Homo-oligomer: A and B are copies of this chain.
């Protein structure tokens, strides 16, 4: 469904959010360990998220990644997915036609539309706060 990059990006963001609530800044190394992802590749993805203002980075000793506490609840999964994979999941044609166009639909257009819109709605209505809290409470997990 999502690219590896996007999967790592989502998991990293959740962990950063969780740590930010605790007031601790996390390093690339710590993130990669926690979400079980390749370190250097994860670095690229985090850079991307920084550029898209999803997370903040602080260079140098005692540096790391964080998210401003007050913003965590307003960051939606859709922001992360958009930053990394773009909007093709929502806007592109499920069968690869040049554009998804109501007036020139592919054979699965009407059937796919509702699924895609449910996905879109879900991504736009799920924020990092709730995901982080579920990790905190032990209701969900970031690896294995």
How many copies of this protein are present in the complex? Answer: 2
Please name all residues of chain B whose beta carbon is closer than 8 Å to the beta carbon of A140 when the two chains form the complex.
Answer: 105-107, 109
Residue of B nearest to A10 (CB): B95
Whether the Cβ atoms of B98 and A144 lie closer than 8 Å is yes
Q: Which residues from chain B contact A115 at a C-beta distance below 8 Å?
A: 115, 118-119, 122
Ordered by A's residue number, 24 sampled pairs between the chains whose C-beta atoms are within 8 Å are A1-B1, A1-B89, A1-B112, A2-B95, A4-B96, A7-B94, A7-B96, A11-B95, A11-B107, A77-B108, A97-B141, A97-B143, A97-B144, A104-B144, A106-B140, A106-B142, A107-B135, A107-B140, A107-B142, A111-B126, A114-B118, A115-B115, A115-B118, A118-B118
